[in-house]
Amino acid sequence: MKVFLNPGHAPNGNPDPGACGNGLRESDIAAQVGHLVEGYLIAAGLEVMTLQSDSLSEITDTANDWGADVFVSIHCNSAASEFARGVETFSFPGSVGGRDIAGCIQRQIVGAFAEIDPDFPDRGLKEANFYVVRNTDMPACLVELAFISNEEDAALLKFQVDDYARAIARGVTDYEQAIS
């Protein structure tokens, strides 16, 4: 299976670091998690391409041209309220495959973090018309790992990067097993 990973926002945060908060930048966290996920998926025998870019069309065109079987975009959430917390994963409205891969990843993150932080909220699966899930030819999802604007979530993003990466990789391999 060919997996396309898209750590959100621009490499090195230039020109767009994404959400920022609690001393963290979304582009940096997404890149760290994406790099680790790539390694775990390669070790599991999957083909992986990773691209972090400020150009959404470059991202989707590259994934489509490569012939990816699945697309995963990795992000950190942010909200005006400092109390917003948790993980949520999006797929394009009506995409059964997108919802399936989103569900596999969401379940793995929720399960992994139930042990680390029993109060970590499962914000569930959602549908959205995000560019990267709308313009890819394969099942696609966008995972919002946690809220960078929340102090507790930011600590998870800073110190549990490997747990996020392992959970995403397990979600992808769960999806691979489900479709084979």
Give me the active site residues, please: 144
As a whole number of angstroms, the distance between CA 1 and CA 175 comes to 10
Quote the Cα angle for 83-126-174, to 5°: 105
Quote the Cα angle for 11-16-21, to 5°: 100
Per the CB < 8 A criterion, the answer to whether 74 and 140 are in contact is: no
Quote the Cα angle for 10-96-6, to 5°: 15
Secondary structure of residue 4 in the 3-state scheme: strand
In DSSP terms, 122 is beta-bridged to 87
* Residue the block writes with tokens 């018309």: 129
